[in-house]
Structure 1
Amino acid sequence: MSTRKHDLSNTVPLKTKIWLSSADGIVATLAGLITGGGLTYYFTKWMGLKASYVSIAWLIFGIWNAVNDPLFGYLSDRTKSNLGRRIPYIRYGAPLYALAFIISWIAFPWVGNQWAMFFQMLISLFLFDALYTAIATSLYVMPYEITVDNQARGSIFIWKVFFSIISLGAPLILMPLIQPEPGESATTFRLIMTCIGIVAGIYVYVSTFFYQENNYVKEEAQPPMLKAIVDCFKNRPFLIFEIISFTVIYIQTALMQGVLYYFAEFNIPMTYCYGALLIGAILGLLFWIRHQEQLGVNRCIFLMCLIFSCGCLLMAFFGNYLLIACIGFFATGIGFSGGMYLVPLMNGDVIDYDELHTGLRREGIYAGVNSFITKPAISLAQSAFLTIITALGYIQNAKQGTQSPAAKSGLLIGWMLIPAILLFICSICMMAYPLKGDDWKGKKEQLKKSHAKKEALYTSNNNLNSKNE
């Protein structure tokens, strides 16, 4: 169990990094199994729910999914508990989250009734996502609660990158191996899902005993929800951060969607491209870790956006050549590593800046508003890609490899040109980003000292009150 001293040390215990990051990864893994196509497959292929009903369920859920992030972020900021503001949601939400995951796969007696199955799926999505948002938001902001120092935060994000890769890959590997075919018994599938849910719930619950947050912040008086949201948009660095964050989510969605079309239509060896992607990601991450303290987060993100943009631009017009494809995927690896490591550091700086101006720690509402703004990027990326390639002659039901040269060129443009433009815009925006240089480092150092003093004073007063009682 962590017992953090109220000093100015930049060191975060290794066990704290691992337990926090792995718990975050496990929570994301369960979400990937539900929202990554697993629940849709189960209800349509095995239970027999019509695709039209599933589409309506996802559409209704999408509205709730957008609204609940600011709501839970706001509630988290206002929580007053002996455990803190975030840990109660993680610790006591974990068993409920696991239960919601397990219930989602139960075949109730009404299997065969379309409306009953529709409401079962819809309620499962609402319940599961509400608990996911409460827990995931709290885990997301914990590095900002634990320390102000970017080097210390970065040491946590390195582990988060590692466990994020596992959480992304696990559903893709596991679901094809265990999902039941139509007509088959789903008993084994449900048993595996139940075991996964139980283990995940226990693990996340236990993890909360290995990290802690500052106690003094729960005594702060938070503003009403509307004012809390408005204050976020008064934060100029936050607006610049949102441009970066929106672009990263858009590009992640667009590139993952378009890559399936790319390898289907172009005679480009997948092994070389993915090898270049992996090398770029590893070298990029090592470079950002080594130089972010020296160059600053602002310069690193500027550099990341510029390299990533050039790679996408080359792919948009010359992606049919193997050498260019390898260069493009290498640049994409550099960009992805920066998105996973640098962007969270930028988010932390934005929250620190807010505290300097408001005197409050408001990580929850910032995480919620960020999700509210960036989630539409997922739908927009998918829609824009399909619209552009169709307008430029791509035929969806044509056999693989039979598209016209014009359609293939349109595929590259629809896939890579918008990301190139957005990234270039981001690089320009970073020139106006004010949180940089020695002046900003000095302000963060003052903030770190202020946190230590406030926490020490809170502990002293709390101990004194305990003795008086």
Structure 2
Amino acid sequence: MEPEDAVDVPKAGPGPSPTRTSPLRYGAGMFGTSLPINLVKGSMLYVYVELLGLDAAIYATVYAVYGVLDALDNPVFGHLSDRTRSRWGRRRPYLVTGALVLAVTTIALFSVPGPVADSAVGLAVWFAVFAITTEMADSLINASYGALLPELFSHEKRRATANAVRQGAQLIALVIALAMTPVLARNVLGTEGSAVGYGRLAIIFGVVSAAVILWTAFGVREDPALNAEAKPLFFRSVRQILSTSQFWTVGLVNACYGAAMALVLGGLQLYVHHTLGGSALDASILQLVVIAVSIGMLSVWAAVVRRKGAAWTWRLALPVAAVGFVPMYFATDLITGILAGLTVAVGYSGVLATNDLVIARVLDADAARHGTHRSGLFLAAFGVLGRLNGLVTAAALASLTVWFGYRSGADPGPDPGQAFRVYLSLYPFALLVIGTTVSRFIRLPVAPQEMTGGEPGGGTQAEPVPGPVS
């Protein structure tokens, strides 16, 4: 228990009964959800602006719309998931539907027909349609997938195990979708200067992603007792969520972190190309090293969580992540880029290991206070703040046009190296400094207490009890 900032938390009524869902099967689903969307985040900017020649200002405009819609559709999908009552469960129908749609739209996004690519208007329209539909499919999946974590695993030890599995699965997906993509798309499945390899890779990722998400969806065992709860009312729920102080504070920190990582994912290939003067292989090597170290550091951060608690560790990881971006500004080649990337990996891994545990505490407290589980809507509301990072990304990219003259690969301006040095270092650093500052003023509920022998399937589940927040 973490003693600081103590206030009372309302006692919950009977919680959800233990379920038999395997943490491994649930956590593996994150591989499927992460594979296509990280191809989008990591390569969409490079493919459309650098390779296909879409004007950066047009890209930024579409991406701003993308960010707004990404924020608005989250509450809708989350609320629908919370209110669904079916023999298939509340979350499974959306996982199945979303998996199939995501596969199709990801493939279409990276498979631009020749006549469309040759038309400035056609390219912009194609990009807008499939970038937005891919985003909506991703939102549909994650509104339900994320809600399952606190509902399936109410004991924090088991929850932490499931979260560690899914974050590990996400990092493996990052190795493939980010680190391996430049080489696979530009040297194995395609050639330098061509988008063909990215289209072929999207087909592979789309099919694999759908298969993994479906495997997870049909292995989830939702608690049937939750179907007996009253269906949450949308406007009442929104009012209650918006009146929760942790929604604004934790949500803002999460948004700062998400925006920083969105800049990194979208701009890293351009940073390697323009700032470090590296090749596709160099981009893959840099990303592979960073992600591999992040995977290794998960166990270290997990040990800190067990000793000091999620909230304390979260507050430590945020400034470590912020400072980690400073060396990226001074890197000049692959070797110094890798050394700088190692500092990013340490903090990034820490936030990964703790962020969802912090959010899950807020969801537990909401369910205890109001007597109904509406994790989908609550997470979606967090998503409204977090997914507005599309606006931050759009503004950051537009600033490169204004300050550095960068418009596209064909018109990079006088100093694209400095442009992406700022984009990948100073902007993420500033965002995480804001998040770190806000985190110091957040008061979080303690984790649910566990009774001896209270593991799912092995005994009685303890109820959350009044206690301090940290």
> TM > 0.5 between the two?
yes
TM-superposed deviation, 1:422: 4.2
Q: Which amino acid aligns with 2:185?
A: M
TM-superposed deviation, 1:303: 1.2
TM-superposed deviation, 1:390: 6.5
Q: Which amino acid aligns with 1:135?
A: I
Q: Structure 2 stretches of 5 or more lacking a match?
A: 1-15, 462-470
Residue 73 of structure 1 pairs with residue 73 of structure 2:
no
Cα distance in 2 between the residues matched to 1:252 and 1:88? 30
The DSSP-based 3-state class of the residue aligned with 1:240 is helix
The answer to whether the 8 Å contact 2:106/2:206 transfers is yes
> What is the match of residue 164 of structure 2?
158
The answer to whether the 8 Å contact 1:40/1:54 transfers is no
> What is the match of residue 89 of structure 1?
94
> What is the match of residue 225 of structure 1?
234
Q: 1:197-247: per-residue Cα shift (whole Å, max 9, x none)?
A: 455434432332322222222332244323322322222222221122112
User: Counting helix residues as a fraction of each chain, which structure ranks higher?
Assistant: 1
Cα distance in 2 between the residues matched to 1:276 and 1:123? 34
Q: 1:376-409: per-residue Cα shift (whole Å, max 9, x none)?
A: 3244246347738975x79889999x969xx96x
Identity of aligned residues (%): 17
Q: Which amino acid aligns with 2:154?
A: V
Residue 237 of structure 1 pairs with residue 243 of structure 2:
no
The DSSP-based 3-state class of the residue aligned with 1:433 is coil
> What is the match of residue 17 of structure 1?
23
The DSSP-based 3-state class of the residue aligned with 2:249 is helix
Pick aligned residue for 2:359 from 343, 347, 350: 347
Flag the 1:323–1:37 CA change in 2: closer, same or farther, 3 A: closer
Residue 423 of structure 1 pairs with residue 432 of structure 2:
yes
Pick aligned residue for 1:288 from 293, 296, 301: 301
Residue 64 of structure 1 pairs with residue 69 of structure 2:
yes
The DSSP-based 3-state class of the residue aligned with 1:81 is coil
Q: Which has the larger radius of gyration?
A: 1
TM-score (norm 1): 0.71
TM-superposed deviation, 1:91: 3.1
Q: Which moved more, 1:270-279 or 1:227-236?
A: 270-279
Cα distance in 2 between the residues matched to 1:429 and 1:34? 30
Q: 1:96-150: per-residue Cα shift (whole Å, max 9, x none)?
A: 5445556667889996996777766655445444333222321222211211223
Q: Which amino acid aligns with 1:342?
A: T
> What is the match of residue 220 of structure 2?
211
TM-superposed deviation, 1:262: 7.3
Q: Which moved more, 1:374-383 or 1:109-118?
A: 109-118
> What is the match of residue 178 of structure 1?
189
Flag the 1:381–1:40 CA change in 2: closer, same or farther, 3 A: closer
Cα distance in 1 between the residues matched to 2:406 and 2:138? 38
Q: Which moved more, 1:77-86 or 1:245-254?
A: 245-254
> What is the match of residue 466 of structure 2?
none
> What is the match of residue 298 of structure 1?
311
The answer to whether the 8 Å contact 2:294/2:346 transfers is yes
TM-score (norm 2): 0.71
Q: Which moved more, 1:382-391 or 1:279-288?
A: 382-391
Cα distance in 1 between the residues matched to 2:130 and 2:397? 30
> What is the match of residue 373 of structure 1?
385
Structure with higher RCO (Cα < 8 A, 6+ apart): 2
The answer to whether the 8 Å contact 1:309/1:424 transfers is yes
Q: Structure 1 stretches of 5 or more lacking a match?
A: 1-5, 457-469
Flag the 1:61–1:358 CA change in 2: closer, same or farther, 3 A: same
Q: How does 1:133-148 map to 2 (within 5 A)?
A: 133-148=139-154
> What is the match of residue 31 of structure 1?
37
Q: Which amino acid aligns with 1:288?
A: W
The answer to whether the 8 Å contact 1:92/1:205 transfers is no
Cα distance in 2 between the residues matched to 1:45 and 1:314? 28
Q: Which amino acid aligns with 2:373?
A: R
Pick aligned residue for 1:247 from 231, 234, 256: 256
The answer to whether the 8 Å contact 1:93/1:135 transfers is yes
The answer to whether the 8 Å contact 2:252/2:386 transfers is no
RMSD between superposed Cα atoms in Å: 5.1
Cα distance in 1 between the residues matched to 2:110 and 2:341? 38
Residue 149 of structure 1 pairs with residue 155 of structure 2:
yes
Q: Which moved more, 1:78-87 or 1:205-214?
A: 205-214
TM-superposed deviation, 1:82: 1.9
